[in-house]
Amino acid sequence: MSRQDETIGSAARAEPFDAVGFAARHSAVIFLVALVVVFALLEPRFLSAFNLMNVLRQVSISGLIAIGMTFVILTAGIDLSVGALVALSGLVGAYVAKGGLEDRFAVGASVDAGNPVILAFLAAAAVGMAGGALQGWAVTRLRVPPFVVTLGGLTAFRGAALLFSGGGPISGFSPAYTWWGQGRIATVPIPVVIFAVTALIAHIVLRHTRFGLHVYAVGANPRAAEENGVPVRRVTWLVYVIVGFACGLATFLLSARLNSAEAVAGLGLELDVIAAVVIGGTSLFGGVGGVFGTVVGALLIGVLRNGLVLMNVSSFIQQIVIGLILVAAVAFDQYAAARRRS
């Protein structure tokens, strides 16, 4: 994805067309299109509407969190705790939905005895935001590096999830709950709709609000931002709350789709999420990137997985390929950045 173009309001200049530079800047989009073409040619089932919707639905959960992660990484931070936070907030949401742990496995008549779906969602979102707020506080007030804070969060939230649930899942929700994961509007799965709407809102916030501008400023030069009156601490704290909210929203949709929440949900999810953001062209050093790139990055990973599965490629090889693409994406970006400097 383009670093230059995703930087706020960058210059449009009348320069001779630079094909190599263009390719390097838009590497993620070009690669995504190429992948779709290749899979479409090699595997007829790939382009079916059913399969494409399936890819989108799979992408939407980690993609939602990747949108939140984009805010964090733009400030030159990182959040490794998202997978664990998904587990913890999902369990609390499920607990509220069921009105307790007594009939945690009950499927049937008793499922309607719990609380309204909106309460369950709010509970999951509140836990996610509280976890993010706590970590953001440690980053901004205790001045512990985000990598360390959220590495601690990764362990602690997972532990809290196991403690809370006693290790077992909470399953069997009302149809009103599972609709959010399994329902469709027209033919589009609900999680995909929510993913798209969230991406749009996040894009508007980043590009068209004062807060969004401050996120970019904090990522590039926090001292300069501070000297110009940007509330650096508040901005930094808020990005962790935002990714926490994304975890709560994602876990609500995930548990609705699976009709279950469990303490081992989202294991290793942070790696998928960070990969989507980075493949999408957002710099780990902060200040450069955006939501559009992240959506492309998430789609790229989703399409790659799906295509390889359809072609019966082993999941071990998938992991190797995704790892290589991650490194290649960053190498392309470095190359594009070096060209711009010269």
Partner 1 sequence: MPVLELRGIARHFGAIQALGGVDLTLDRGEVLGLMGDNGAGKSTLVKIIAGSLQPSTGTMRLDGQEVRFARPGEARAAGIELVHQDLALCDNLPAALNVFLGREIVRRIGPFRFLDRGAMFARAEELFAELKSETRPRDLVRSMSGGQRQAVAIARTRLADPKIVLLDEPTAAISVRQVEEVLGLIRQLRSTGHAVILISHRMPDVFSVADRVAVLRRGQKVADKPIAQTSAEEVTGLITGAIEIA
- What beta strand segments (E) does the chain contain? 170-171, 184-185, 188-189, 260-261
Half-sphere exposure of 233 (CA within 13 A, CB side): 7
Output DSSP code: residue 221.
-
Q: For residues 269 and 154, is the Cβ–Cβ distance under 8 A?
A: no
* Closest CB to partner 1 among residues 106, 284: 284
Which lies closer to partner 1 via its Cβ, residue 136 or residue 287?
A: 287
Contact 290, 80 (CB under 8 A): no
CB of 333 to partner 1, least distance (A): 14
Q: Which is nearer to partner 1, 10 or 48 (CB)?
A: 10
Q: Which is nearer to partner 1, 10 or 319 (CB)?
A: 10
Residue with tokens 């069997």: 172
Q: Kindly list the residues in this chain that would bind partner 1 in the complex (CB under 8 A).
A: 4, 7-12, 204, 208-210, 212-213, 216-217, 219-221, 223-225, 227-230, 287-288, 340
Beta strand 260-261 with 170-171 is: antiparallel
Of 287, 135, 297, whose CA–CA distance to 206 is shortest? Answer: 287
- CB of residue 219 to partner 1, shortest distance in Å: 7
- Residue bearing tokens 């706020």: 8
Nearer to partner 1, 36 or 220 (CB): 220
We find the least distance from the C-beta atom of residue 228 to partner 1, in angstroms, to be 4
| Distance in Å, CB of 212 to partner 1, minimum | 8
Q: What is the DSSP string of 5-68?
A: HHSTTPPP------HHHHHHHTHHHHHHHHHHHHHHHH-GGGGSHHHHHHHHHHHHHHHHHHHH
Return the number of the residue (24 or 247) whose C-beta is nearest partner 1: 24
Q: Least distance (Å) from partner 1 to the CB of residue 288? A: 6
Q: How far is the CB of 276 from partner 1 (least distance, A)?
A: 21
